[in-house]
Amino acid sequence: MSNLGNAQNSPDIIGLYNLGASSPEGGSHLFVLENNNYAITYFGGILSGKWKITKDNICEFMPIKRNEFELLGRHNIGLKGSTKICFNGFENSETFIQLRIGKEEEITMQRVFNPDANCFSYNPYVYTFKTIANSISFMAIKYDDSSRSIVTIENPDEYNDFVANFIEIDSFSARPFFATFKDEKLYFEEEDFSHRTPIDKNDEDVEYIKNMIDAEANRDTIYYNPSYNIFGRSHRDKGEQNIHEHHIFDEQKNAYINTQLYTEDIEYKNSDESFEDMSIIYAYTALKEHSQKSVKYKINEKPLFQVNCK
């Protein structure tokens, strides 16, 4: 068994654990996997991280550290001096953005959605700005926020087509948690324990979770179609798909093409099938240069998107 801690005389904790309402994470199931990976699955989501056994035989579970704002970009020659951004998850809080050309003295953060927005569409929220930014700043105001810091992500390669993700990270789920293993049970507290169930390595759910963990750990490049539908994660039974399996890279289009399905210029046509069409795929690269500061700012109350029930 692979173990980041003391491998000798360490208990074999690999298995599936049912987590009740009193568990430290409030989830439904804990998968403790080989290679020191773990995942907590719950209705509507998954939390993953690394586990190890300390020299005191304490099981430590450390969640993967995620940035609240994530920005991925590519060069889109069709935009010609403009910047296009697809906003994912920004409806989950009061969120703001500023495209910065230089180091402006005045920071003005513009609302992404109007206050009290509701009746959101399933379609992606995409906005085109008439500029190319050297950096992009984001801010979120949450109900439990006492400080409001601005996250700035540098754009050294002058990308102009982005996917921006806002991931709500509450302090509770970001904390490590601990347990002890005894008599085939994982104890979170003295009276709070869960029995270990062996994991079937051929189970489709287990394979899916492993693929999701790999995807979370390797977010340097993510693939989307022209309608900003993520490639490779649409079908649970297939897991993570390999972009090279059916697509070849076309340098002129700067895209991956499925030659058996692609028709010329389909990326410029909108139809009811566009969102699910994976015949042409773009690679978006994660921008890594982040800074976070508490600075003075103004708010532009005019939202990029006005969303209300009719």
pLDDT tens per residue across span 260-300: 999 999 999 989 899 999 999 999 999 998 899 888 899 99
The closest alpha carbon to 61, from 25, 29, 20, belongs to: 25
In a shared domain, residues 226 and 296: yes
In the predicted model, what is the mean pLDDT of residues 157-180?
87
Q: Mean pLDDT throughout 209-214?
A: 82
SS3 state at 211: helix
Q: How confident is the model at residue 239 (pLDDT cuts 50, 70, 90)?
A: very low
pLDDT above 60 (res 40): yes
Q: For the whole prediction, is pTM greater than 0.85? A: no
> Is 106 a domain residue?
yes
Return d(Cα 179, Cα 13) in angstroms, integer. Answer: 11
pLDDT at 164 over 70: yes
Range of the domain at 192: 15-66+171-217
Count of domains forming the chain? 2
pLDDT at 137 over 90: yes
Q: How high is the pLDDT of residue 5? A: 46
Q: Which residue has the higher pLDDT, 272 or 162?
A: 162
DSSP 216: H
Predicted confidence at residue 94, as pLDDT, reads 93
How confident is the model over 46-89, as pLDDT tens digits?
Answer: 788 999 999 888 999 999 877 889 999 999 999 989 999 999 99
Whether 138 and 22 map to the same domain: the answer is no
- Give φ, ψ of 212 to 5 degrees: -65, -40
Of the three residues 159, 191, 217, the one that is the final residue of a domain is: 217
136 and 192 in a common domain: no
Where residue 53 sits, what CATH number does that domain have?
Answer: 2.40.128
Q: Are residues 93 and 117 in the same domain?
A: yes
Number of H helices, E strands in the chain: 2, 22
Q: Where are the beta strands (DSSP E) in 117-156?
A: 125-129, 135-141, 150-154
Look-up of token digits 């690394």: 50
